[in-house]
Chain A
Amino acid sequence: MLAELIETIAKIMFIFGVNMGFFTPILGWVERKQSAVMQDRVGANRADIFGFRVIGLLHILADAIKVLTKEDFVPAGANKFFHTLAPFISLTPALVTFAVIPFGGQYEIFGHKVNLVIADLDIGILFIFAFASLATYGTVLAGWSSNNNWSFLGGMRASAQMLSYEVAMGLSIIGVIMVYSSLKLTEIGAMQAEFFRWGIFLQPVGFILFLTCAIAENKRAPFDIPEAESEIVAGYFTEYSSMKFVMFWMGEFLEIVTISGIITTLFFGAWHIPFVSNEMLLSIFGFAGPDGANILTMLINIATFFVKIIFFIWLQMTIRWTLPRFRYDQIMKLGWKILLPLALINIFITGLVLLVK
Protein backbone atom coordinates (compact mmCIF):
# COMPACT_ATOMS: atom_id res chain seq x y z
CA MET A 1 0.00 0.00 0.00
CA LEU A 2 2.69 2.45 1.05
CA ALA A 3 4.96 1.37 -1.82
CA GLU A 4 2.11 1.97 -4.26
CA LEU A 5 1.44 5.40 -2.81
CA ILE A 6 5.10 6.35 -3.11
CA GLU A 7 5.18 4.96 -6.65
CA THR A 8 2.12 7.00 -7.70
CA ILE A 9 3.44 10.20 -6.14
CA ALA A 10 6.82 9.65 -7.78
CA LYS A 11 5.19 9.18 -11.18
CA ILE A 12 3.03 12.30 -10.77
CA MET A 13 6.06 14.32 -9.69
CA PHE A 14 8.04 13.02 -12.66
CA ILE A 15 5.38 13.83 -15.29
CA PHE A 16 4.59 17.18 -13.69
CA GLY A 17 8.27 18.04 -13.47
CA VAL A 18 9.01 17.07 -17.06
CA ASN A 19 5.97 18.89 -18.41
CA MET A 20 6.06 22.08 -16.34
CA GLY A 21 9.77 22.24 -15.60
CA PHE A 22 11.19 21.21 -18.96
CA PHE A 23 8.75 21.19 -21.86
CA THR A 24 6.73 24.34 -21.13
CA PRO A 25 9.66 26.76 -20.75
CA ILE A 26 11.74 25.11 -23.47
CA LEU A 27 8.88 25.17 -25.95
CA GLY A 28 8.58 28.93 -25.48
CA TRP A 29 12.16 29.17 -26.66
CA VAL A 30 11.77 26.54 -29.42
CA GLU A 31 8.77 28.39 -30.84
CA ARG A 32 10.81 31.56 -31.30
CA LYS A 33 14.09 29.99 -32.29
CA GLN A 34 12.62 27.55 -34.78
CA SER A 35 10.50 30.25 -36.40
CA ALA A 36 13.58 32.45 -36.61
CA VAL A 37 15.65 29.70 -38.23
CA MET A 38 12.88 28.81 -40.66
CA GLN A 39 12.31 32.44 -41.65
CA ASP A 40 16.04 33.18 -41.92
CA ARG A 41 16.02 35.63 -39.01
CA VAL A 42 18.43 35.84 -36.09
CA GLY A 43 15.70 35.80 -33.48
CA ALA A 44 15.54 35.48 -29.69
CA ASN A 45 19.10 36.50 -28.86
CA ARG A 46 18.77 39.75 -26.91
CA ALA A 47 18.75 38.53 -23.32
CA ASP A 48 22.20 38.07 -21.88
CA ILE A 49 24.03 37.73 -18.59
CA PHE A 50 27.48 39.39 -18.69
CA GLY A 51 27.41 39.14 -22.48
CA PHE A 52 26.65 35.40 -22.59
CA ARG A 53 23.61 34.73 -24.72
CA VAL A 54 23.51 30.90 -24.81
CA ILE A 55 21.61 30.79 -28.15
CA GLY A 56 18.71 32.76 -26.66
CA LEU A 57 17.96 30.32 -23.85
CA LEU A 58 18.17 33.15 -21.31
CA HIS A 59 14.94 34.52 -22.76
CA ILE A 60 13.16 31.90 -20.68
CA LEU A 61 14.47 33.59 -17.56
CA ALA A 62 13.70 37.06 -18.88
CA ASP A 63 10.17 35.96 -19.75
CA ALA A 64 9.60 34.56 -16.27
CA ILE A 65 10.68 37.81 -14.61
CA LYS A 66 8.59 39.87 -17.01
CA VAL A 67 5.50 37.73 -16.50
CA LEU A 68 5.71 37.79 -12.72
CA THR A 69 6.20 41.53 -12.47
CA LYS A 70 3.70 42.73 -15.08
CA GLU A 71 0.41 44.28 -14.06
CA ASP A 72 -2.53 41.88 -14.13
CA PHE A 73 -5.51 43.89 -15.34
CA VAL A 74 -9.16 43.09 -15.88
CA PRO A 75 -10.76 45.31 -18.53
CA ALA A 76 -13.65 47.58 -17.56
CA GLY A 77 -17.03 45.95 -18.02
CA ALA A 78 -15.55 42.47 -18.08
CA ASN A 79 -17.05 39.64 -16.09
CA LYS A 80 -14.35 39.38 -13.46
CA PHE A 81 -15.22 35.87 -12.26
CA PHE A 82 -15.14 34.22 -15.68
CA HIS A 83 -12.23 36.37 -16.82
CA THR A 84 -10.14 34.93 -13.99
CA LEU A 85 -11.52 31.41 -14.30
CA ALA A 86 -10.93 30.99 -18.06
CA PRO A 87 -7.12 30.57 -18.06
CA PHE A 88 -7.40 27.97 -15.30
CA ILE A 89 -9.94 25.98 -17.34
CA SER A 90 -7.56 26.15 -20.28
CA LEU A 91 -4.55 24.93 -18.33
CA THR A 92 -6.05 22.19 -16.13
CA PRO A 93 -7.15 19.70 -18.85
CA ALA A 94 -3.74 19.99 -20.50
CA LEU A 95 -2.12 19.04 -17.18
CA VAL A 96 -4.54 16.24 -16.32
CA THR A 97 -4.66 14.33 -19.61
CA PHE A 98 -1.09 13.09 -19.37
CA ALA A 99 -2.18 10.92 -16.44
CA VAL A 100 -3.36 8.06 -18.68
CA ILE A 101 -0.48 8.14 -21.18
CA PRO A 102 2.07 5.41 -20.39
CA PHE A 103 5.69 6.53 -20.59
CA GLY A 104 7.08 3.00 -20.22
CA GLY A 105 6.03 -0.60 -19.83
CA GLN A 106 5.81 -2.82 -16.77
CA TYR A 107 8.91 -3.73 -14.80
CA GLU A 108 9.65 -5.81 -11.76
CA ILE A 109 12.03 -4.00 -9.49
CA PHE A 110 12.91 -5.41 -6.05
CA GLY A 111 9.85 -7.64 -6.12
CA HIS A 112 7.58 -4.67 -6.77
CA LYS A 113 5.67 -4.38 -10.03
CA VAL A 114 6.06 -0.93 -11.55
CA ASN A 115 3.58 0.16 -14.21
CA LEU A 116 4.78 3.39 -15.78
CA VAL A 117 1.47 5.20 -16.08
CA ILE A 118 -0.15 7.41 -13.44
CA ALA A 119 -3.68 6.02 -13.85
CA ASP A 120 -4.22 2.83 -15.84
CA LEU A 121 -7.92 3.44 -16.54
CA ASP A 122 -10.17 1.04 -18.38
CA ILE A 123 -11.54 3.90 -20.49
CA GLY A 124 -7.99 5.09 -21.26
CA ILE A 125 -8.16 7.27 -24.34
CA LEU A 126 -11.73 8.38 -23.59
CA PHE A 127 -10.42 10.09 -20.46
CA ILE A 128 -8.20 12.25 -22.66
CA PHE A 129 -11.09 13.14 -24.95
CA ALA A 130 -13.31 13.96 -21.99
CA PHE A 131 -10.88 16.47 -20.55
CA ALA A 132 -9.78 17.80 -23.92
CA SER A 133 -13.42 18.62 -24.67
CA LEU A 134 -13.59 20.68 -21.46
CA ALA A 135 -10.65 22.82 -22.59
CA THR A 136 -12.99 24.51 -25.08
CA TYR A 137 -14.64 26.41 -22.23
CA GLY A 138 -11.41 28.17 -21.30
CA THR A 139 -11.23 29.69 -24.75
CA VAL A 140 -14.93 30.44 -25.14
CA LEU A 141 -15.31 32.01 -21.69
CA ALA A 142 -12.11 34.03 -22.14
CA GLY A 143 -13.49 35.47 -25.35
CA TRP A 144 -16.91 36.19 -23.91
CA SER A 145 -15.90 37.59 -20.51
CA SER A 146 -13.35 40.09 -21.85
CA ASN A 147 -16.01 42.55 -23.04
CA ASN A 148 -14.11 43.10 -26.25
CA ASN A 149 -15.38 42.45 -29.76
CA TRP A 150 -12.10 40.96 -30.98
CA SER A 151 -12.03 38.57 -28.05
CA PHE A 152 -15.66 37.72 -28.56
CA LEU A 153 -15.11 36.88 -32.24
CA GLY A 154 -12.16 34.71 -31.24
CA GLY A 155 -14.24 32.87 -28.67
CA MET A 156 -17.05 32.25 -31.15
CA ARG A 157 -14.65 30.96 -33.77
CA ALA A 158 -12.99 28.72 -31.19
CA SER A 159 -16.24 27.14 -30.01
CA ALA A 160 -17.35 26.29 -33.55
CA GLN A 161 -13.94 25.02 -34.60
CA MET A 162 -13.24 22.90 -31.54
CA LEU A 163 -16.71 21.38 -31.57
CA SER A 164 -16.37 20.42 -35.24
CA TYR A 165 -12.94 18.86 -34.97
CA GLU A 166 -13.74 16.96 -31.78
CA VAL A 167 -16.12 14.79 -33.81
CA ALA A 168 -13.59 13.93 -36.49
CA MET A 169 -10.83 13.45 -33.89
CA GLY A 170 -12.93 10.97 -31.92
CA LEU A 171 -13.75 9.00 -35.08
CA SER A 172 -10.16 9.07 -36.35
CA ILE A 173 -8.85 6.90 -33.51
CA ILE A 174 -11.69 4.37 -33.58
CA GLY A 175 -9.76 2.45 -36.23
CA VAL A 176 -6.82 2.11 -33.83
CA ILE A 177 -9.12 0.97 -31.04
CA MET A 178 -10.64 -1.64 -33.37
CA VAL A 179 -7.25 -2.98 -34.49
CA TYR A 180 -5.88 -3.36 -30.95
CA SER A 181 -9.34 -4.04 -29.48
CA SER A 182 -8.61 -2.06 -26.33
CA LEU A 183 -9.12 1.45 -24.98
CA LYS A 184 -6.31 1.10 -22.49
CA LEU A 185 -3.28 3.02 -23.65
CA THR A 186 -0.96 0.67 -21.74
CA GLU A 187 -2.32 -2.33 -23.64
CA ILE A 188 -2.20 -0.53 -26.98
CA GLY A 189 1.40 0.42 -26.23
CA ALA A 190 2.36 -3.12 -25.18
CA MET A 191 0.88 -4.59 -28.37
CA GLN A 192 3.25 -2.55 -30.51
CA ALA A 193 6.41 -4.38 -29.42
CA GLU A 194 6.93 -5.65 -32.96
CA PHE A 195 7.97 -2.94 -35.42
CA PHE A 196 5.48 -3.82 -38.14
CA ARG A 197 2.61 -3.90 -35.65
CA TRP A 198 3.01 -0.16 -35.00
CA GLY A 199 -0.14 1.87 -35.46
CA ILE A 200 1.30 3.85 -38.34
CA PHE A 201 1.48 0.68 -40.48
CA LEU A 202 -1.97 -0.55 -39.48
CA GLN A 203 -3.74 2.82 -39.48
CA PRO A 204 -1.89 5.29 -41.73
CA VAL A 205 -5.05 7.24 -42.58
CA GLY A 206 -6.01 7.35 -38.90
CA PHE A 207 -2.65 8.93 -38.08
CA ILE A 208 -2.99 11.75 -40.61
CA LEU A 209 -6.60 12.42 -39.58
CA PHE A 210 -5.72 12.44 -35.90
CA LEU A 211 -2.72 14.73 -36.34
CA THR A 212 -4.79 17.21 -38.36
CA CYS A 213 -7.68 17.22 -35.90
CA ALA A 214 -5.36 17.44 -32.91
CA ILE A 215 -3.60 20.51 -34.30
CA ALA A 216 -7.01 22.06 -34.99
CA GLU A 217 -8.14 21.24 -31.43
CA ASN A 218 -5.02 22.95 -30.13
CA LYS A 219 -5.86 26.04 -32.23
CA ARG A 220 -2.40 26.35 -33.75
CA ALA A 221 -1.61 27.49 -37.28
CA PRO A 222 -2.88 26.63 -39.87
CA PHE A 223 -5.97 26.37 -37.64
CA ASP A 224 -5.38 29.45 -35.49
CA ILE A 225 -8.42 31.51 -36.50
CA PRO A 226 -9.52 31.95 -32.84
CA GLU A 227 -6.28 33.88 -32.35
CA ALA A 228 -5.63 35.22 -35.88
CA GLU A 229 -3.40 38.14 -34.94
CA SER A 230 -3.66 39.74 -38.39
CA GLU A 231 -7.48 39.83 -38.26
CA ILE A 232 -8.72 40.10 -34.68
CA VAL A 233 -5.69 41.42 -32.72
CA ALA A 234 -5.03 38.33 -30.58
CA GLY A 235 -8.46 36.76 -30.52
CA TYR A 236 -9.74 35.33 -27.29
CA PHE A 237 -6.77 36.40 -25.15
CA THR A 238 -6.50 39.99 -26.37
CA GLU A 239 -7.49 41.31 -22.95
CA TYR A 240 -5.16 39.13 -20.91
CA SER A 241 -1.86 40.12 -19.40
CA SER A 242 0.82 38.83 -17.11
CA MET A 243 0.35 35.37 -15.53
CA LYS A 244 -3.10 34.71 -16.96
CA PHE A 245 -1.84 35.37 -20.49
CA VAL A 246 1.01 32.94 -19.96
CA MET A 247 -1.38 30.30 -18.65
CA PHE A 248 -3.04 30.15 -22.06
CA TRP A 249 0.35 29.63 -23.62
CA MET A 250 1.34 27.00 -21.08
CA GLY A 251 -1.89 25.18 -21.86
CA GLU A 252 -1.13 25.32 -25.57
CA PHE A 253 2.44 24.07 -25.14
CA LEU A 254 1.34 21.29 -22.80
CA GLU A 255 -1.24 20.22 -25.35
CA ILE A 256 1.52 19.97 -27.96
CA VAL A 257 3.34 17.61 -25.61
CA THR A 258 0.17 15.62 -24.87
CA ILE A 259 -0.67 15.30 -28.58
CA SER A 260 2.86 14.05 -29.22
CA GLY A 261 2.41 11.58 -26.36
CA ILE A 262 -0.87 10.25 -27.77
CA ILE A 263 0.55 9.97 -31.29
CA THR A 264 3.61 8.13 -29.97
CA THR A 265 1.45 5.74 -27.95
CA LEU A 266 -1.16 5.05 -30.60
CA PHE A 267 0.85 5.11 -33.82
CA PHE A 268 4.58 4.97 -33.16
CA GLY A 269 5.22 2.07 -30.85
CA ALA A 270 5.02 3.89 -27.51
CA TRP A 271 8.17 3.08 -25.54
CA HIS A 272 9.50 0.38 -27.92
CA ILE A 273 12.64 0.72 -30.02
CA PRO A 274 12.24 -0.71 -33.54
CA PHE A 275 13.69 -4.22 -33.88
CA VAL A 276 14.92 -4.19 -30.27
CA SER A 277 12.60 -6.05 -27.93
CA ASN A 278 12.64 -5.59 -24.18
CA GLU A 279 13.82 -9.21 -23.78
CA MET A 280 16.91 -8.33 -25.80
CA LEU A 281 17.54 -5.28 -23.64
CA LEU A 282 17.12 -7.36 -20.49
CA SER A 283 19.64 -9.93 -21.68
CA ILE A 284 22.12 -7.22 -22.71
CA PHE A 285 21.87 -5.67 -19.25
CA GLY A 286 22.10 -9.10 -17.62
CA PHE A 287 25.42 -8.13 -16.03
CA ALA A 288 23.63 -5.77 -13.62
CA GLY A 289 21.55 -8.52 -12.04
CA PRO A 290 17.77 -8.92 -12.54
CA ASP A 291 16.85 -5.71 -10.73
CA GLY A 292 19.59 -3.66 -12.35
CA ALA A 293 18.65 -4.96 -15.80
CA ASN A 294 15.03 -4.04 -15.18
CA ILE A 295 15.94 -0.53 -14.05
CA LEU A 296 18.25 0.03 -17.05
CA THR A 297 15.59 -1.26 -19.47
CA MET A 298 13.04 1.02 -17.85
CA LEU A 299 15.31 4.06 -18.21
CA ILE A 300 15.99 3.24 -21.87
CA ASN A 301 12.27 2.83 -22.55
CA ILE A 302 11.45 6.15 -20.89
CA ALA A 303 14.21 7.84 -22.90
CA THR A 304 12.87 6.28 -26.14
CA PHE A 305 9.39 7.53 -25.36
CA PHE A 306 10.54 11.08 -24.77
CA VAL A 307 12.80 11.11 -27.84
CA LYS A 308 9.74 10.21 -29.91
CA ILE A 309 7.74 12.95 -28.15
CA ILE A 310 10.43 15.50 -28.96
CA PHE A 311 10.36 14.43 -32.61
CA PHE A 312 6.60 15.01 -32.82
CA ILE A 313 6.92 18.35 -31.06
CA TRP A 314 9.41 19.31 -33.77
CA LEU A 315 6.98 18.09 -36.44
CA GLN A 316 4.12 20.17 -35.01
CA MET A 317 6.34 23.25 -34.76
CA THR A 318 7.43 22.79 -38.37
CA ILE A 319 3.84 22.50 -39.54
CA ARG A 320 2.93 25.58 -37.52
CA TRP A 321 5.62 27.71 -39.18
CA THR A 322 5.17 26.28 -42.68
CA LEU A 323 1.49 26.50 -43.52
CA PRO A 324 -0.50 29.74 -43.80
CA ARG A 325 -3.79 30.15 -41.90
CA PHE A 326 -7.00 28.68 -43.31
CA ARG A 327 -10.08 30.82 -43.72
CA TYR A 328 -13.02 30.09 -41.42
CA ASP A 329 -15.15 28.52 -44.19
CA GLN A 330 -12.19 26.43 -45.34
CA ILE A 331 -11.75 25.09 -41.83
CA MET A 332 -15.41 24.15 -41.57
CA LYS A 333 -15.35 22.51 -45.01
CA LEU A 334 -12.20 20.56 -44.19
CA GLY A 335 -13.62 19.36 -40.88
CA TRP A 336 -17.12 18.35 -41.91
CA LYS A 337 -16.79 17.51 -45.62
CA ILE A 338 -13.33 15.92 -45.82
CA LEU A 339 -12.04 14.72 -42.45
CA LEU A 340 -15.34 13.38 -41.08
CA PRO A 341 -16.23 11.25 -44.16
CA LEU A 342 -12.61 10.05 -44.42
CA ALA A 343 -12.70 8.98 -40.77
CA LEU A 344 -15.97 7.10 -41.35
CA ILE A 345 -14.57 5.37 -44.45
CA ASN A 346 -11.46 4.47 -42.45
CA ILE A 347 -13.62 2.85 -39.76
CA PHE A 348 -15.62 0.98 -42.43
CA ILE A 349 -12.54 -0.39 -44.22
CA THR A 350 -10.87 -1.31 -40.92
CA GLY A 351 -13.99 -3.22 -39.95
CA LEU A 352 -14.05 -5.04 -43.31
CA VAL A 353 -10.39 -6.04 -43.03
CA LEU A 354 -10.85 -7.25 -39.45
CA LEU A 355 -13.93 -9.23 -40.49
CA VAL A 356 -12.20 -10.93 -43.43
CA LYS A 357 -9.12 -11.76 -41.33
Chain B
Amino acid sequence: MEQIIFYIFGAGAVLSALIMVTNKKPVSAAFSLIVTMFCLAGLYVLLDAHLIAALQIIVYAGAIMVLFLFVIMLLNVEEKEGRLRGKILLQLAGILIVGYIFIKIVRLIGNGDLPAKMEGAIQGFGTTKVVGLMLFTDFLFPFEIASILLLAAIVGAVILAKAKVD
Protein backbone atom coordinates (compact mmCIF):
# COMPACT_ATOMS: atom_id res chain seq x y z
CA MET B 1 0.00 0.00 0.00
CA GLU B 2 2.73 2.43 1.01
CA GLN B 3 4.68 1.45 -2.12
CA ILE B 4 1.72 2.14 -4.38
CA ILE B 5 1.22 5.58 -2.84
CA PHE B 6 4.94 6.25 -3.15
CA TYR B 7 4.90 5.45 -6.87
CA ILE B 8 1.80 7.59 -7.42
CA PHE B 9 3.35 10.62 -5.71
CA GLY B 10 6.79 9.96 -7.18
CA ALA B 11 5.51 9.69 -10.72
CA GLY B 12 3.31 12.72 -10.14
CA ALA B 13 6.24 14.79 -8.92
CA VAL B 14 8.50 13.82 -11.84
CA LEU B 15 5.80 14.24 -14.48
CA SER B 16 4.60 17.61 -13.23
CA ALA B 17 8.20 18.81 -12.91
CA LEU B 18 8.79 17.81 -16.55
CA ILE B 19 5.66 19.65 -17.63
CA MET B 20 6.76 22.66 -15.62
CA VAL B 21 10.07 22.82 -17.47
CA THR B 22 8.75 22.10 -20.95
CA ASN B 23 5.49 24.05 -20.92
CA LYS B 24 5.65 27.45 -22.57
CA LYS B 25 2.52 28.89 -20.96
CA PRO B 26 3.52 30.58 -17.68
CA VAL B 27 0.29 29.78 -15.84
CA SER B 28 0.40 26.10 -16.81
CA ALA B 29 4.04 25.92 -15.75
CA ALA B 30 3.28 27.54 -12.40
CA PHE B 31 0.40 25.16 -11.86
CA SER B 32 2.61 22.15 -12.62
CA LEU B 33 5.04 23.44 -10.02
CA ILE B 34 2.19 23.50 -7.48
CA VAL B 35 1.42 19.87 -8.30
CA THR B 36 5.12 19.03 -7.85
CA MET B 37 5.13 20.69 -4.43
CA PHE B 38 2.00 18.81 -3.45
CA CYS B 39 3.46 15.45 -4.54
CA LEU B 40 6.64 16.20 -2.58
CA ALA B 41 4.50 16.84 0.49
CA GLY B 42 2.92 13.43 -0.07
CA LEU B 43 6.40 11.87 -0.16
CA TYR B 44 7.29 13.63 3.11
CA VAL B 45 4.21 12.09 4.72
CA LEU B 46 5.42 8.65 3.61
CA LEU B 47 8.71 9.43 5.39
CA ASP B 48 6.76 10.15 8.61
CA ALA B 49 7.66 13.83 8.39
CA HIS B 50 4.12 15.11 8.81
CA LEU B 51 5.06 18.58 10.00
CA ILE B 52 7.40 19.20 7.06
CA ALA B 53 4.68 17.97 4.71
CA ALA B 54 2.12 20.37 6.15
CA LEU B 55 4.58 23.26 6.03
CA GLN B 56 5.52 22.36 2.46
CA ILE B 57 1.90 22.72 1.40
CA ILE B 58 1.15 25.80 3.52
CA VAL B 59 4.28 27.75 2.61
CA TYR B 60 5.26 26.61 -0.87
CA ALA B 61 2.12 25.30 -2.52
CA GLY B 62 -0.28 27.56 -0.62
CA ALA B 63 1.45 30.89 -0.23
CA ILE B 64 4.51 31.34 -2.44
CA MET B 65 2.91 29.85 -5.53
CA VAL B 66 -0.18 32.04 -5.07
CA LEU B 67 2.19 35.00 -5.24
CA PHE B 68 3.82 33.52 -8.36
CA LEU B 69 0.44 33.16 -10.04
CA PHE B 70 -0.57 36.64 -8.88
CA VAL B 71 2.50 38.20 -10.47
CA ILE B 72 2.22 36.13 -13.67
CA MET B 73 -1.40 37.14 -14.09
CA LEU B 74 -0.91 40.77 -13.06
CA LEU B 75 1.98 41.35 -15.45
CA ASN B 76 0.24 39.22 -18.07
CA VAL B 77 3.46 37.37 -18.90
CA GLU B 78 3.38 36.24 -22.51
CA GLU B 79 4.37 32.89 -23.89
CA LYS B 80 8.07 33.01 -24.60
CA GLU B 81 10.31 30.92 -26.78
CA GLY B 82 13.31 29.63 -24.87
CA ARG B 83 15.64 32.50 -24.10
CA LEU B 84 18.56 30.12 -24.22
CA ARG B 85 17.99 29.37 -27.91
CA GLY B 86 21.26 29.72 -29.77
CA LYS B 87 23.41 29.98 -26.67
CA ILE B 88 25.06 26.62 -27.11
CA LEU B 89 27.67 27.17 -24.41
CA LEU B 90 25.03 27.74 -21.71
CA GLN B 91 23.01 24.75 -22.87
CA LEU B 92 26.11 22.57 -22.81
CA ALA B 93 26.97 23.73 -19.29
CA GLY B 94 23.46 22.91 -18.13
CA ILE B 95 23.59 19.42 -19.59
CA LEU B 96 27.00 18.79 -18.03
CA ILE B 97 25.97 19.91 -14.52
CA VAL B 98 22.71 17.97 -14.53
CA GLY B 99 24.46 14.92 -15.98
CA TYR B 100 27.15 15.06 -13.27
CA ILE B 101 24.55 15.22 -10.47
CA PHE B 102 22.57 12.40 -12.09
CA ILE B 103 25.65 10.14 -12.30
CA LYS B 104 26.51 10.93 -8.68
CA ILE B 105 23.01 9.98 -7.52
CA VAL B 106 23.04 6.75 -9.51
CA ARG B 107 26.46 5.84 -8.04
CA LEU B 108 25.29 6.64 -4.52
CA ILE B 109 22.27 4.37 -4.88
CA GLY B 110 24.39 1.67 -6.55
CA ASN B 111 26.94 1.70 -3.72
CA GLY B 112 24.21 1.28 -1.16
CA ASP B 113 25.79 4.05 0.89
CA LEU B 114 22.39 5.49 1.69
CA PRO B 115 21.52 5.11 5.36
CA ALA B 116 18.93 2.42 5.94
CA LYS B 117 15.55 3.51 7.23
CA MET B 118 16.15 4.92 10.68
CA GLU B 119 13.76 2.75 12.63
CA GLY B 120 13.18 4.35 16.00
CA ALA B 121 16.34 6.43 15.71
CA ILE B 122 14.63 9.37 17.34
CA GLN B 123 11.57 8.90 19.49
CA GLY B 124 8.58 10.42 17.73
CA PHE B 125 10.53 11.30 14.58
CA GLY B 126 8.92 13.99 12.48
CA THR B 127 6.34 15.08 15.03
CA THR B 128 5.88 18.77 15.72
CA LYS B 129 7.31 18.46 19.22
CA VAL B 130 10.56 16.79 18.16
CA VAL B 131 11.15 19.10 15.21
CA GLY B 132 10.43 22.13 17.39
CA LEU B 133 12.79 20.96 20.14
CA MET B 134 15.55 20.33 17.60
CA LEU B 135 15.07 23.74 16.00
CA PHE B 136 15.30 25.55 19.32
CA THR B 137 18.16 23.56 20.87
CA ASP B 138 20.65 21.82 18.55
CA PHE B 139 19.96 23.90 15.46
CA LEU B 140 19.17 27.25 17.06
CA PHE B 141 22.07 29.04 15.38
CA PRO B 142 21.35 27.95 11.78
CA PHE B 143 17.66 28.62 12.45
CA GLU B 144 18.35 32.20 13.54
CA ILE B 145 20.78 32.73 10.67
CA ALA B 146 18.09 31.63 8.22
CA SER B 147 15.58 34.04 9.74
CA ILE B 148 18.08 36.92 9.49
CA LEU B 149 18.65 36.00 5.85
CA LEU B 150 14.92 36.17 5.20
CA LEU B 151 14.68 39.49 7.04
CA ALA B 152 17.48 40.89 4.91
CA ALA B 153 15.64 39.75 1.78
CA ILE B 154 12.43 41.44 2.94
CA VAL B 155 14.21 44.71 3.75
CA GLY B 156 15.97 44.57 0.39
CA ALA B 157 12.71 44.02 -1.46
CA VAL B 158 11.07 46.93 0.33
CA ILE B 159 13.97 49.26 -0.47
CA LEU B 160 14.00 48.23 -4.14
CA ALA B 161 10.23 48.72 -4.42
CA LYS B 162 10.35 52.04 -2.59
CA ALA B 163 13.02 53.43 -4.89
CA LYS B 164 10.65 52.83 -7.84
CA VAL B 165 7.65 54.37 -6.07
CA ASP B 166 9.42 57.57 -4.97
Could you give, for residues 160-194 of chain A, a 1 whenever the CB lies within 8 Å of some chain B CB and a 0 otherwise?
10110010001000000000000100000000000
The one of A82, A123, A136, A160 that contacts B27, using a Cβ cutoff of 8 Å: A82
A115 to chain B, nearest CB (A): 18
- Taking CB atoms, residues of chain B closer than 8 Å to A79 are 27
Contact residues of A between 191 and 242, Cβ < 8 Å to B: none
Contact of A130 with B by CB under 8 A = yes
Q: How far is the CB of B93 from chain A (nearest CB, A)?
A: 35
Report Cα–Cα, A129/B34, bound state, in Å: 16
Does A121 touch B at the CB level, under 8 Å?
A: yes
Picked from B34, B38, B67, B128, the residue with its CB within 8 Å of the CB of A123 is B128
Q: Does A126 contact B (CB under 8 A)?
A: yes
Report whether B54 and A141 are in contact in the complex, using a CB–CB cutoff of 8 Å. no
Which residues on the A side are within 8 Å of B53 (C-beta)?
A: 123, 130
Question: Is the pair B62, A166 in contact by a Cβ cutoff of 8 Å?
Answer: yes
CA distance A137 to B57 in the complex (A): 13
Nearest residue in B to A183 (C-beta to C-beta)?
A: B128
CB pair A159–B50 under 8 Å, yes or no, is no
CB-CB under 8 A for A134 and B27, given A122-B127, A163-B67, A166-B62: no
Query: Which residues of chain A from 92 to 132 have any CB-CB distance to chain B below 8 Å in the complex?
Result: 121-123, 126-127, 129-132
A155 within 8 A of B: yes
Q: Tell me if B66 and A136 are in contact (CB < 8 A).
A: yes
Partner of B50, one of A121, A129, A141, A144: A121
Check B73 against A130 for contact (C-beta < 8 Å): no
Tell yes or no: B154 within 8 A of A by CB: no
Nearest-CB distance from A171 to chain B (Å)?
Answer: 13
Contacting pair A137 B50 (CB below 8 A)? no
C-alpha gap A82/B29 in the complex (Å): 12
Measured in the bound complex, the distance between the Cα atoms of B44 and A126 in whole Å is: 15
Q: Is A144's CB under 8 angstroms from B128's CB? A: no
Using CB atoms and an 8 Å cutoff, list the residues of chain A in contact with chain B: 79, 82, 121-123, 126-127, 129-134, 136-137, 140-141, 144, 152, 155-156, 159-160, 162-163, 166, 170, 183
Closest 6 CB pairs of A and B: A133-B62, A130-B57, A126-B54, A159-B70, A123-B54, A123-B50
